Every structure is written in structure tokens, then in C-alpha cells.
Structure 1
């Protein structure tokens, strides 16, 4: 009886073939880098050096991403805000790598927030006031405050809290900026349903300025309370002097509105983030740090890129806070008497 012969086929393993990685720093001109990454060659290298301690791989694997490559992947995402798969195809890496790199890069940049986002120091206050005064003749101004919404996908938890007054899920971020469009303070953690005034009142900035009144004033819209250091416009201007104050207030405070617009034009990902709130906050913080880097390094803003215009949130009704406006009224009236009675 013939024996039964079993034939075994050797299993063939498919060798992983990685797409050829793009070499943007070599293949693009400076103008092309600005258009695709919002930064030039020297700015990209500067940013890579900042995050190198956090992102430098210890592995010797041949396919490990360099810090510069990680930086370029994340900057490409911040600049256009498209799907991870599209970024991966463009940069020659897998979608999961893009996701991991964006998260790691955002955390690394966010850890630098205190290095790049800070209130004007004593020796900078006079220059800050002068630049604001040149904008609209508002005296003693050291900042302008406003909140802006970054839309996100519906979160898994506490979904209703993230619905803004426009009916979209968002993170409501508070920004204080100067006349040069530098962000000097930020709060990035609150759901879209939270009122601007509450974000301020719960912030470390509020506690600090209530305890130690600054040498100057911050300008806010009517959604904020009138405080000794926070000037809001007159709800109704009953005199020519009050009307001139309101006009000056509006011209000067427009700096923060311009800042919000520039931030979202430079980093189009902030128009809609397809991530959960925790990751969204990390990305927003990273973009804030990058915005200040770009502004201080005079990185040009390319007006020709294809990005949606940022949404303008409807003005919120004022949140009245009892027993906080008396001194604020007195200071505002003094400003009107001393600067707008002519």
C-alpha cells in the first residue's frame, strides 16, 4: 500500500513596502514651504530644535522618523486640517503614523506654552500701551480679550456640553492678545456651551489680576463684566464723549478679532478638528505656540491658500456679575473725562 505523501507549501510572507517618504526641505522652494507648511526652511528647523528633546527617537531602526520629518508631518496637518490619510499619502507614511505624530508633536509644543505665551513684562508695558494707543487712541491698554470657538466632532462623553450657541460642537478658547497680534494669555479647556464671562472668572488670569491690579487695562466686549482692569463699551452711548469712547474701544479691541482670524487662517485645522476634546485641546495649544513663533519671527502669512473663512460667533449676552462693576464704572468714567471730552 502506497504511503500517503503530505506536501507542505512554504508560507510566503509579504514584505512590507513603505511608500517613499517626501523630502519637502529638499524638494520645495521657500515659497512652496510657506504655502504648504506655513513656515520657511529656517523656521521649520527652529521648531524642530524646540521639540527635539521630546521627539528624538532612541531607536536605531532604519524606518524611524527623524524629528524634522515628524515636524513636517504635524505642520502639514496644522496648515490644512485634512484627513490623516491624505496627509500620510502626501508625506509617504501610514495614517496611523500621522495620528501618532500629530498627538506627540502637539503635546511637545503645548509643553512650551509658558515659554511663548506670557503677559507683557514691566519693561514691555509702556511699548504695549503705545502701540494700542496708536490703533484707536485708547489709553493704558495692555491687552484685548475675546473667546473663539474651534469646532470639533461630536465627543463620546458629555456631548451636550460641547454644543455652542450656533448648534455645533466646539471648544471655546479664551485669548488675550496685544497690538502685534501676539497671544499673551490663553485658556484652552472649556466646552462650547460655556459663556465667555464664566471662562474668564474661572481663569488664573482673573484671579491674578483681581489680586494684583495690572498697570493698565484690558479691553473686552459686552459679554464681559466691567472691572477696574477690564473695560467694556457703554451699552448705550448717551453723550458725544461716551460715543467717542465706544468708537476708540472698538478700533482698539479689533486687534483680538484680527488675531483670531489670523490664527485660523494660518492653521486651517482649527476650523474643524475630527478628534475628541482632549486631543483637540492639545492641537489648539500647539497652534497657539506656533502662532506666536511665527509672529515673532515675522513669518509671512500666505493669503493665497485655500482655507475656509473662520466662523464668527454671535455676540453673547452679558453675564451680569453683582458688586463687581462699581469701581469699573468709576475708572471708565475717568477715562472718558480725561481723554474724550474735547
Structure 2
């Protein structure tokens, strides 16, 4: 009778307790959030990330969020992330994928990214904050497109090549005066013009159907057509009122350019989900 072999025991690498080891300053540097921020994010998706059992030393929800933030913040190779935090490289990869999907479910996105149509007090508040920037009245958002680099898709590959000759998704984004994101449309190939994205978006309908009252408007660059709800700069301004208008327009609209720049510097890996919010 053959001798029965014992089942080999699995060895699990020690996992660091980053939230206890590092100060808030060090957490901000590595993960872009302090401990309170990391716990807030974890609580949003804890139920989706928890393992149904305690077998095989499951990775905690906090650890999954930390690995995902580290990857998004630095673009660091997953093997290095594994070396830093403890879990194996496949576990890191699976955890990042699971966490990204949990963070980008529609109901969670709409909790934080929504345009305040029909909320007159919110529109008035936002317009007041914009007016403090350069005296421009009635502004409830500054709009622009930004390109998120992607791997060349198998289908319709040429449509994703943008004017700078790399593959991307052209993402429409709107900020308020406090750099909060009010609107995102992330589904158009990189070759699509900014004006086309707005024309096909629900945001345009909010203004044209008067769900945003007349007198409120967006500011966009000269790549957009001038509309009653979308003000663009004069291409050849005359000295005086037109030049003053352009100056106030530029100072106010710079918020969207700075906001996009800050977002990309803070998170070197831009994960996009094909949705319109």
C-alpha cells in the first residue's frame, strides 16, 4: 500500500501594517491620502472587497485599497508593490482589478460626480465662487477635454489615435471653482473632437432643456463653439471690453487646466471606465 503523502502547507509572506507604520505625511507621499482618507475609501467598498471566508489568510479590504492607491499614484510595477506590502504578485494584480471595479460602479461615481442641475442654491453658490476668481458672472463650470493614454485596441484602432499620434480616450471633464469634478464623459476615442463630445453629451441637454436656468453658463476654450450656455474667448479681441473679457475668461477657465494637471500629477496611472456621468 502506497504511503499517503501529507498535503504540503502553503507559506504566506508577512504583510505589513502600513496604516500603523507610516505617518500621515508618509502616507500622503506614497498613497496620496492620509489615514483618514484611506479609511474613508475603504469603507466605501469594504463589502465588495471582503473575502467570504478566512481561509488562506485573505487580503484585507484596507490592504487592497492601499495596493490600488500605490499603483495609481506611482505607476509602480506590481512586483515592487508585492515586495513592499507582502502579498504575491498575482494577489496584487487581482486585488487592484477588484478594487478598481468596486470604486467605479455607477452609483458610487454618481455619489461624488454630479452636475447640480435644478439645484438653484448650488448653482448660485458655484457661480459666486467663480466670480471671486476674476469677476466673471454666471459661471457654473469650466470644461475641457483631456487624453488618457491606452493600449491600442484590437477593434477600430485608428479611431483611437489622437492628434499627437498616440492611442487615447478623449475624456470630457468639468470642474467647479473649488476643483471638484462635476461631470465626466469617458467613452470617446482619442480622434474625437472636444466639441463633438459635448454635443453628444447629457450635459448639453441639461442647458438646452433649461434644467440649468438661463443666465448660467460654462466656459470653454476656442475649440468649442460659442453658445448661450458655453462662452468662449474672442479670437481677435479688440482693446477694451473684449480684451478685458478674454483676460477674465482665461483666468477663470485656467481652473480646468490646473485641475487636470493636478489630477494627472497626483495619480500617474489614469484608470478610465467607459461610462458617461
TM > 0.5 fold call: yes
Q: Residue 119 in 1 paired to residue 115 in 2?
A: yes
Contact 1:82 1:269 (8 Å CA) reproduced:
no
User: Does 1:54 pair with 2:48?
Assistant: yes
Q: 1:193 to 1:108 in 2, by over 3 A?
A: same
CA distance in 1, matches of 2:245, 2:233: 8
Partner of 2:160: 162
Q: SS of the counterpart of 1:268? A: coil
> In terms of mean alpha carbon deviation, does 205-214 or 255-264 score higher?
205-214
Q: For CA contacts below 8 A with separation 6 or more, give which structure has more relative contact order.
A: 1
Q: 1:56 to 1:13 in 2, by over 3 A?
A: closer
What per-residue deviation string (whole Å, max 9, x for no partner) do you get for residues 281-339 of structure 1? 23x98xxx9xxxxxxxxxxxxxxxxxxxxxxxxxxxxxxxxxxxxxxxxxxxxxxxxxx
Equivalent in the alignment of 1:214: 212
**Equivalences, count:** 270
- Give me the whole-angstrom Cα distance separating, in 2, the residues matched to 1:225 and 1:99: 43
Q: Is the 8 A contact 2:206 2:212 kept in 1?
A: no
8 Å Cα contact 1:171-1:192 kept in structure 2: yes
Measure the CA separation in 1 of the matches of 2:47 and 2:21: 27
2: CA distance between counterparts of 1:171 and 1:91? 32
How far is 1:85 from its partner? Answer: 2.0
For the aligned residue pairs, the C-alpha RMSD in angstroms reads: 2.2
Q: Would you say the 8 A contact 2:159–2:191 is kept in 1?
A: yes
CA contact (8 A) 1:214 1:229 kept: no
Unmatched 5+ residue regions in structure 2? none
**Hey, what's the Cα distance between the residues in 2 that align with 1:154 and 1:82?**
21
* Cα distance change of structure 1 residues 170 and 12 upon mapping to structure 2, 3 Å threshold: farther
Q: TM-score, normalised by structure 2?
A: 0.90
Encode CA deviations 1:13-62: one digit per residue, 9 max, x unaligned.
76433322121011111111111111111111111111112222212214
Which residues of structure 1 form unaligned runs of 5+? 1-7, 271-279, 290-342
What whole-Å deviation, never above 9, does each CA across 1:209-267 have from its counterpart, x for those lacking one? Answer: 22125231100001111111110111111342111111110000001011101111111
Partner of 1:63, secondary structure, is coil
Given that residues 143 and 219 in structure 1 are in contact (C-alpha distance below 8 angstroms), is that contact kept between their aligned partners in structure 2? yes
Report the secondary structure of 1:142's partner residue.
strand
State whether structure 2 residue 81 is matched by structure 1 residue 73.
Answer: no
Q: Which moved more, 1:11-20 or 1:164-173?
A: 11-20
- The one of 130, 133, 136 aligned to 1:135: 133
Structure 1 residues 146 and 85: CA distance shift in structure 2, 3 A: same
Displacement of 1:10 in angstroms is 8.1
3-state SS in 2 of match to 1:47: helix
Does the Cα contact within 8 Å between 1:213 and 1:229 map onto a contact in 2? Answer: no
In the other structure, the counterpart of 2:198 is 200
Q: What residue is the counterpart of 1:244 in the other structure? A: 244
User: Which residue in the other structure is 2:185 paired with?
Assistant: 187
1:93 maps onto 2:87 in alignment: yes
3-state DSSP class of the match of 2:27?
Answer: helix
Q: 1:9 to 1:166 in 2, by over 3 A?
A: farther
